[in-house]
């Protein structure tokens, strides 16, 4: 009888707890219609363990994608500090070694990231070729403290644009880059603090790589897009299965892209492989501590759980591709408040 009572009591407790939990869930669902949105999210966040649900990480490596996406990727360079290049080798460290509490199942766990022990991180941003000797990136990438406060006090002198840093197989990364794939900046062509873009003339034309094609057709909500860049200083990543979100302006649009720190300056392509924008800001990404796993994992938000990425539209700098002194470019720079380099 003693055993029976103990078992019966345990089962009863389980049933009671389950009923309370179920009732709480239905109460929360019913309350959603009456509570302010911010209050509802706060309550839900205190009840649900994982507020940010992974929709599926769409980032792929260069060797995993088709030839058309590879052609897009070949136009993208990582923007790094000059100090992370030793002769023709990029200084790197495994992602798992830099992020000490990274979850074992985190994507790209054992891949290299650009790293310099005396510079904290050696990677800055992503960038892409818009003319044979002109590179585009986000304006804030050139205005970062590590660039502004570089030892030589000359921003372009401290930077390098490197093509070809990518995974060539699941366990092999190209970190020994040829000298022909490393470029210096020669001068600023134009830039905007307000619209967050920068065009930089390189020290020489880029060999064996074609510039991107700038999209001319109107942007449309729901339009399929993909992004190419170097999230968190990793080898090149291509992330598709994203769309333009409804609320866009003449300067920016929002998108549900899988991007991290380091993707700033990445080109955003449409389905015709034309560039529609420069990645400006991401509200997802990076590696918060997972309260369940007790380790760090990618923060990839479910729809509506956090803000979409912001992308600068190519239209705001297209006039400057014809030259900094062109009337259209000068007007754009005046309207957009160009950076004072």
Give residue-wise pLDDT tens across range 83-92: 889 888 899 8
Q: Which residues contact 196 (CB under 8 A, 6 or more apart)?
A: 138, 139, 140, 278, 280, 312
Give yes or no for residue 338 having a pLDDT over 90: no
pLDDT of residue 21: 46
Count other C-beta atoms under 10 Å from residue 171's C-beta.
8
Overall number of domains in the chain: 2
Structure tokens at 76: 């993208």
* Summary mean pLDDT of the chain: 78
- Give the separation between CA 200 and CA 156, rounded to whole angstroms: 9
Residues 88 and 154 in one domain: yes
Give yes or no for residue 151 having a pLDDT over 60: no
- Write the pLDDT tens digit of every residue in 307-325: 578 899 998 888 888 777 7
Residues 18 and 128 in one domain: no
Give yes or no for residue 204 having a pLDDT over 70: yes
Report which of residues 265 and 298 the model is more confident about. 265
Residues 96 and 27 in one domain: no
Residues 28 and 125 in one domain: no
Owning domain of residue 139: 52-341
Residues 175 and 319 in one domain: yes
Give yes or no for residue 229 having a pLDDT over 90: yes
For residues 280-296, average pLDDT = 75
Report which of residues 227 and 300 the model is more confident about. 227
Q: Strand, coil or helix: what is 94?
A: strand
Q: What is the pTM of this model?
A: 0.78
pLDDT of residue 235: 96
Using only C-alpha atoms, the chain has a radius of gyration, in whole angstroms, of: 24
pLDDT of residue 48: 27
pLDDT above 90 as % of the chain = 35
Residue 170 DSSP label: T
């Amino acid at each position: 009888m003693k055993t029976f009572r103990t078992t019966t009591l345990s089962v009863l407790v389980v049933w009671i707890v389950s009923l309370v939990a179920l009732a709480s869930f239905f109460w929360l669902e019913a309350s959603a219609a009456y509570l302010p949105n911010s209050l509802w999210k706060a309550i839900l966040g205190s009840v649900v363990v994982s507020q940010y649900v992974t929709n599926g990480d769409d980032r792929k490596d260069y060797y995993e994608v088709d030839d058309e996406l590879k052609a897009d990727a070949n136009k993208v360079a990582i923007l790094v500090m000059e100090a992370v290049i030793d002769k023709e080798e990029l200084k790197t460290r495994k992602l798992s070694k830099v992020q000490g509490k990274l979850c074992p199942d985190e994507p790209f766990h054992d891949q290299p990231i650009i790293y310099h022990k005396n510079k904290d991180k050696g990677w800055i941003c992503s960038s892409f070729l818009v003319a044979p000797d002109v590179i585009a990136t986000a304006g804030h990438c050139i205005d970062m403290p590590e660039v502004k406060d570089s030892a030589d006090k000359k921003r372009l002198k401290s930077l390098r644009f490197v093509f070809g840093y990518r995974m060539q197989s699941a366990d092999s990364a190209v970190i020994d880059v040829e000298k022909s794939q490393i470029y210096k900046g020669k001068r600023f062509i134009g830039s905007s603090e307000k619209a967050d873009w920068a065009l930089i003339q390189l020290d020489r034309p880029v060999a064996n790589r074609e510039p991107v094609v700038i999209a001319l057709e109107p942007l449309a909500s729901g339009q399929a897009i993909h992004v190419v860049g170097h999230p968190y200083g990793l080898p090149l990543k291509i992330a598709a299965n994203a769309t333009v979100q409804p609320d866009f302006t003449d300067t920016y649009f929002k998108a549900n892209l899988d991007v991290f720190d380091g993707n700033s300056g990445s080109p955003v392509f449409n389905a015709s492989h034309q560039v529609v924008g420069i990645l400006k800001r991401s509200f997802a990404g990076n590696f918060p501590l997972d309260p369940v796993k007790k380790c760090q994992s990618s923060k990839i938000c479910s729809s509506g759980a956090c803000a979409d990425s912001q992308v600068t539209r190519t239209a705001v700098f297209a006039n400057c591709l014809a030259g900094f002194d062109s009337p259209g470019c000068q007007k754009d720079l005046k309207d957009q408040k160009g950076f004072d380099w």
